[in-house]
Amino acid sequence: MNDAAANKAAFADGPQNQYRLTSIEPADPPPGTGQTWYAYVLENNDCTIKGQRRGTRAEVTEHAREFAEELNARAGRGYRPAWSAQRKGGTR
């Protein structure tokens, strides 16, 4: 089993559809920055969130994990984004 498959397998057994960091890879920096960037992927059973951030691998990993924890905390409080259809008919 390759790393991606192992990550997916571990993710599939995760508790209650929570976001998890499933990938982090070096990324091309924006033009003119010349700095180190990484792309990361957060996933739950329904959604995928892709992001990029400047920093060391450890710094970006910490950021992505904290972001996943924040998203999970919001979901635990019943947070719904403003664009979410909260009433019948999708109007606000």
On the CB side of 88, how many CA atoms lie within 13 Å of its CA? 0
Dump pLDDT digits (tens) for 24-44.
999 999 898 889 999 999 999
Q: Is the pLDDT of residue 59 over 70?
A: yes
Q: Is the pLDDT of residue 51 over 60?
A: yes
Does domain 3-78 fall under CATH 2.60.120? My reply is no
Domain ranges of the chain: 3-78
pLDDT of the residue at 74 = 85
Q: What percent of the chain has pLDDT over 70?
A: 65
pTM of the model: 0.66
